[in-house]
Amino acid sequence: MPLLDRALAAGHAPTIASLIERGARHNDCVSSFPSLTPVCLSAIATGRHPDGSFIPGLTWYRRGERRFVEYGSSFQATLVEGAHIAINDAILNLNHLHLSQSERTLFEVVEDAGLIAASINYFVFRGRVRHSLKHRPVGALARRIGVFDAAYGPSRFFFGELFASDRTGGPPNLGVHAANDDQAAAIGRWLVARDGFDFLLYYLPDVDAAQHRVGPDGALAAVTVADRAIAQLIEAGGGIDPFLERHAVVLVADHGQTAAVEACDVRPALDDLRLFAGSLRSDPATSQVAVATSNRFGMLYRLSGAPTARDLAGRLGVIDGVDLAAYIDDDDIVVECGGGEVRVCPGGALRDRRGNRWTVTGDLEALELERDGDVLRSGRYPNALERIACLLACVNAGEVVFSAAPGVEFVDGGGSHHVGGGSHGSLAADDSLVPLITVGLDPRLPDEPSITDVYGLVRHHFGL
């Protein structure tokens, strides 16, 4: 969010500034936890945190298959289980196997009502229409080597160089520099000019990519590109006022990002245990703990003969790079941070800013929780109780989840990190607070909005 504020102040985002003038900017909107792309995009698409979406991280241990799932932490991390399975995981399995079948995506909800949905480069795209790979030779190769050659998405479905439901004349997208946003802009312009959708989810990832490379302070130019990509849709609609007469707008980021100045590997603190290092390197039957770390977040999975969750969290607590750890103990959520411990249970006399009720005992300072009457809030860890509870309730989450200290990034399964650039994933505010701008919508939002609220805004707008 500070990056957008700097861009607005410097005049780098005139289109976004015009949308704010004609609509509303909702402060304190909070991402999911972990504040990582697959989790947050799933939260927007389904309206659910990991307890409902079933997506707990960028990398996680799939208990039924006794292997790591890797959605793209780094090239080196994809090699832990093999590039073949990683390709299937990141595109096909994320949408059609891992994402909960009990929740309908926005694309499914909209098209089940007889409307036309469109998606441009959005990773969580599950819909009702089968789409083959865009290039026939690529599809033939995919079938020969055993990776996906089709996926189900909305009627109007565009995803890089893999899928395109229509010939739009958009430039190729090989994922370098501003290719993602430039391609999205061309496709979006084509769709708007033809009034080709009722609902469009338009994803511009290059600001995030730029921050990973150069850090949040160096990514203003990427915001300019994203603003220009939004402007191209508006121009295709005849200018901002005619465009807004036809379309309502929700503009939201999925997470924040902070500078990564130090790498941290938590595995040495567990080196007396038998650690699962991937199904190609370890036997899960004889491993005690699986460590899934990526960016500024991690999980520990208890396997055969593992210590208790409390013991594992205690081991993490002595690592300088770990800010907090959380786990379930006797049905209570326990959060350990800075030497303090707070226990949380859903239901009770206290409530958070979103109206959830809680019973909270122990050291409230562990999460910097402040009481205002019966209302709990934390400036350092926004919407902390809901986000932690929904992650630990996820069927695919580890028994212990942990968040990085300021400036720290955890080394991923392939030994990679973004030190010198930017990172995200933690529970902390800088990773978690995002801009939310609405125009032409009835923004029925809690006092502390969440990216999960976008789902309800869209449904309400269409009367679904």
Q: Which residues contact 366 (CB under 8 A, 6 or more apart)?
A: 324, 335, 336, 337, 338, 340, 341, 342
DSSP secondary structure, 89-102, as one string: IIIIIIIIIIS-TT
- Name residues whose C-beta falls within 8 Å of residue 65's C-beta, 6 or more positions apart in sequence: none
Predicted confidence (pLDDT) at residue 176 exceeds the cutoff of 60: no
Kindly tell me if the per-residue pLDDT of 64 is higher than 60: yes
Task: For residue 191, tell me if it sits in a domain.
Answer: yes
Residues 6+ apart with CB under 8 A from 217: 259
Query: How far is residue 315's CA from residue 307's CA, in Å, rounded to a whole number?
Result: 10
Round to whole Å and give the CA distance between 382 and 31. 9
Rounded CA separation 402/293 (Å): 9
Residue 61 placed within a domain: no
Q: Are residues 313 and 215 in the same domain?
A: no
Each residue of 311-344: pLDDT tens digit? 999 999 999 999 999 999 999 999 999 889 999 9
Are 410 and 270 found together in one domain? Answer: yes
Indicate the pLDDT class of residue 456, thresholds 50, 70 and 90: very high
188 and 322 part of one domain: no
Q: Is the pLDDT of residue 175 over 70?
A: no
Is 69 within a domain? no
pLDDT value for 137? 67
Instruction: Give tens-digit pLDDT for 186-237.
Output: 999 999 999 999 999 999 988 888 898 888 888 888 899 999 999 999 999 9
In a domain, 82, yes or no: no
Q: In this structure, is the dihedral angle defined by the CA atoms of residues 294, 297, 301 and 302, taken in order, positive or negative?
A: positive
Q: Are residues 320 and 212 in the same domain?
A: no
Kindly report the CATH number assigned to the domain that includes residue 112.
Answer: 3.40.720.10
- Are 45 and 176 part of one and the same domain? yes
Q: Is the pLDDT of residue 144 over 90?
A: no
Total domains in the fold of the chain: 2
Asked if residue 133 and residue 36 are part of one domain, the reply reads yes
Comparing 110-119, 277-286, 324-333, the range with the smallest average pLDDT is: 277-286
**Measured distance CA(199)–CA(195) in Å, rounded:** 10
State whether 170 and 220 are in the same domain. Answer: yes
Give the contacts of 362 (CB within 8 A, at least 6 positions apart): 340, 341, 342, 343
- The pTM (predicted TM-score) of the whole model is 0.95
pLDDT at 377: 94
270 is a domain residue: yes
Whether residue 413 has pLDDT greater than 60: yes
Higher pLDDT, 145 or 57: 57
pLDDT (0 to 100) of residue 376: 95
250 and 362 within one domain:
no
- 382 and 455 belong to one structural domain: no
User: Does some domain include residue 65?
Assistant: no
How confident is the model at residue 140, as a pLDDT?
66
Q: Using the Cα atoms of residue 365, residue 368, residue 371 and residue 377 in order, give the sign of their dihedral.
A: negative
Q: Is 72 inside any structural domain?
A: no
DSSP bridge pairs for 69? 60
- Output the six-digit token pair for 379: 């400036």
Can you give the residue range of the structural domain that contains 306? 262-417
User: Are 171 and 203 in the same domain?
Assistant: yes
Other beta carbons within 10 angstroms of residue 159's beta carbon come to 22
Pick the closest to residue 335 from 295, 377, 364 (CA basis).
364
- Whether 451 and 397 map to the same domain: the answer is no
- 381 shares its domain with 232: no
DSSP 419: T
- Report residue 155's pLDDT band, with 50, 70 and 90 as the boundaries: very high
Q: Name which of 257, 253, 198 is nearest 230 in CA terms.
A: 253
Report the pLDDT averaged over residues 100-128: 97
142 is a domain residue? yes
pLDDT for the residue 28: 86
pLDDT at 444: 80
Q: How far apart are CA 221 and CA 223, in angstroms?
A: 5
**CA neighbor of 38 nearest in space, from 113, 102, 117, 126:** 126
- pLDDT confidence of 169, banded at 50, 70, 90? confident
